[in-house]
Amino acid sequence: MSFVEHSPEILAQVAALPSLPGVYRYFDAADQLLYVGKARNLKRRVSSYFQKDHGGTRIGHMVSKIASLQTTVVRSEAEALLLENNLIKTQHPKYNILFRDDKSYPYLKLTGVSVRDGDASAPPGQRFPRIAYYRGSTDKKHRYFGPYPSAWAVKESIQLLQKVFRLRTCEDTVFANRSRPCLLYQIKRCSAPCVNHISPQDYAVDVRNAEAMLRGETQELLQQMEARMMAHAQKQEYEKAAEIRNQMSALSTVLHQQAIETTSDKDVDILAVKVQGGRACVNLAMVRGGRHLGDRAYFPSQLDDAMGVYQLEDEVLQQSVEVRVLEAFLAQHYIDVPIPPVLVMSEAVDVLLIQALSAQAGYKITAVQQPREQRRIWLEMAEQNAAIQLARLLAEEGSQQARTRALAEALDLPQERLDELTIECFDISHTAGESTQASCVVFHHHKMQNSEYRRFNITGITPGDDYAAMRQVLTRRYQPVAEALQAAGGAEPERGAPRLPDLVLVDGGKGQVSMAREVFTQLGLDLSRIAGVEKGEGRKVGLEELVFADGRPKVYLGHDSAALMLIAQIRDEAHRFAITGMRAQRAKVRTGQSTLEDIAGVGPKRRARLLQRFGGVRGVTNASIEDLMTVDGISASLADDIYRALH
């Protein structure tokens, strides 16, 4: 689109931009963020979008939507790069490469680090730190190792430490109430500090050795252990020398079995990128403490739209798609994930990006693009895994697209833009009428859209009346749609207004479909959009039939039909979502927002006293802070913690 089609205000704003480094943001008429970019020279870069006709290209399509822009001037291009990717990750613009990672990384946690040297004044649970699997935000009270690519990698590391150093894994409440060693002591996986089978000082040495092993200081550790063993032997402390000898033997066995590298590399991330069929995969492999812990695959979204816009910038930069994808991953991934000092990569990225990451981390980051020896083996593994994961994704997406097309053909749904074909499915769940909930799951762009799911608490109906529950949820969901259509007066509703999906599925037969027909008739909505999934003979999977609200005859798609597979997938997801919501709601009703087991400081003895004093969890929930303080062992601060947790 030509620059003359934009408002004089925007063009004047562009003309007044400074020739300084910064970040720019484009917004459409609905104030939705379209694109975030960085520039060494804001005036030159932003002006390039408006100074020529980009035609029908993707960049032309985006420029035609620009209704306003915002800019932020920064001190350097590196600072602009970091700000750009912070905005991309938090605000999800449509025309940028976006890496979404909803899963937090797991860590290995070592508790009570501040007293790990055996401080006699500390509580027993803190004098003897425990190793544990942990996922969440970190703090300074404990020591964290990681992140790890998977829960399996953390648990395997814990098992190794148990074999060699016999650190405890039990909770503090269990530890404080042991009167004899547990099974882990019997199988030589714990030194039983709970019953004083090891002194705090000796346990602290094991903790320090475990930390050294996690840091990859294996050779130094073996040398130190050998020196300690010989010192004990010279003092004729043969039992202690034998214990250290056994630890060294176990450690050597672990190093051999796990193929732990003895190279200078302790913490390294290996990144390989693969682009094919309009999709991309970045495979991240982690080496921590010299151990290859496994890998994780990441798939960016919006790749086609983003690369179409990047073409304007690439007239100068001449970067490949692989480099663009890898740079986007580096900048976005390491915003909130610790970065190791060495990155081994399949593509050479901008030196400025590595400098920015170094400044953000506070230490030098070394990027290696053509590795040798062990690093080369790691990179080849990552490249192979990236290719495998991308091939799997393309196969799955092809299957999903075939299912969407098959359903559109079977039900005569619009096929012009299958990517935007939208299906909403409803299900009702309760237990004997208690905690009734309705779920609504959404399908479009060939996959379930978790962020658009909704739950509805159903109230004011006869317990167990599924028809009344369906009437209520459909009315609440589609009343705004009917109002938007009425406001538009027959025209297309405004952008952002509630819209009717292409297909509304209800989990049920004629009865539920009749209820949906009543609701749509009252709201003046299209009855042809409604279909019910009716169980087949004997309620067998694969024999389902579709029942329609507009009077069409039932449709049996066939047990091996791709369309039925998609219907079953959506229906089952609605049922799963409803069940989990109902169970969570029922648990809150019966036990409050939390459970006593989740409250720090409430061990088995205090929990038993509370339940005995108030007659159950509901009684504890109804008790005031003053009432809770009357229980033996419950202080004012703990009573306050209990009250807050249950409310």
CATH number of the domain bearing residue 621: 1.10.150.20
Q: Give me the pLDDT at residue 261, please.
A: 47
What is the pLDDT at residue 311? Answer: 62
462: tokens are 């006869």
Residue the block writes with tokens 């092809």: 398
State which H helix or E strand residue 607 sits in.
helix 604-614
Domain total of the chain: 5
In 334-430, which ranges are continuous DSSP H helix? 351-361, 373-411
Closest CA to 451 of 12, 15, 39, 92: 92
Q: Tell me, what CATH number does 487's domain have?
A: 3.30.420.340
Classify residue 559: in a domain, yes or no.
yes
pLDDT at 5: 67
- Residue 398 forms part of a structural domain: no
Specify whether 450 is located in the same domain as 329: no
237 & 272 share domain: no
Distance of CA 342 to the CA centre of its chain: 25
Q: Are residues 439 and 582 in the same domain?
A: yes
The Cα–Cα gap between 302 and 99 comes to 9
Which residues on adjacent β-strands are paired with residue 427?
A: 439
Spatial separation of the C-alpha atoms in residues 232 and 227, rounded to whole Å: 9
Same domain flag for 135 and 222: yes
Give domain status of residue 152, yes or no: yes
338/200 same-domain check:
no
Radius of gyration of the chain (CA): 31
No. of H helices and E strands in the chain? Answer: 22, 19
Q: Are residues 609 and 622 in the same domain?
A: yes
Would you state the pLDDT for residue 134?
86
What digits encode the pLDDT tens for the residues 189-207? Answer: 898 998 888 888 888 888 8
Say what the pLDDT of residue 91 is: 86
Q: Could you please report the per-residue DSSP string of 309-350?
A: HHHHHHHHH---HHHHHHHHHHHHHTTSS---SEEEESSPPP
pLDDT of residue 119: 56
- From 91, 123, 139, the end of a domain falls on 91
Strand-pair category, 342-345 with 131-135: unpaired
Alpha-carbon distance 324 to 326, whole Å?
6
Q: What is the pLDDT of residue 540?
A: 64
- Please indicate, yes or no, if residue 75 is contained in any of the structural domains: yes
Q: Are residues 477 and 565 in the same domain?
A: yes
* Residues 181 and 249 occupy one common structural domain: yes
Q: Does residue 577 share a domain with residue 598?
A: no
Say how many C-beta atoms besides its own lie within 10 A of residue 212's C-beta: 17
pLDDT of residue 472: 93
Q: 38 forms bridges with which residues in the sheet?
A: 23
Q: What is the pLDDT of residue 497?
A: 80
Residues 435 and 568 placed together within one structural domain of the fold:
yes
Q: Are residues 251 and 182 in the same domain?
A: yes
| 507 close to 425: Cβ distance less than 8 angstroms | yes
Q: Report the amino acid identity of residue 3.
A: F
User: What does pTM read for this prediction?
Assistant: 0.62
Q: By percentage, how much of the chain surpasses pLDDT 90?
A: 14
**Looking at the structure, do residues 72 and 134 belong to the same domain, yes or no?**
no
Query: What Å distances lie between residue 390 and 41, 101, 273, 281, 291, CA to CA?
Result: 37, 17, 10, 6, 25
Q: What is the pLDDT of residue 592?
A: 45
Q: Is residue 305 a part of any domain in this protein?
A: yes
Task: State phi, psi for 326 to the nearest 5 degrees.
Answer: -65, -40
Question: Range of 50's domain?
Answer: 3-91
CATH of the domain at 367: 3.30.420
Amino acid identity at 114? S
Does residue 408 sit within a domain? no
Residues of the chain with pLDDT under 70: 1-5, 54-57, 101-103, 113-125, 218-219, 221, 250-265, 308, 310-318, 431-434, 490, 536-542, 581-595, 597-598, 615-616
Note whether 293 and 149 are within 8 A (CB). Answer: yes
pLDDT recorded at residue 318? 59
Residue 407 belongs to some domain of the structure: no
Nearest to 474 by CA among 434, 543, 425: 425
Question: Does 411 fall in a domain?
Answer: no
CATH of the domain at 10: 3.40.1440.10
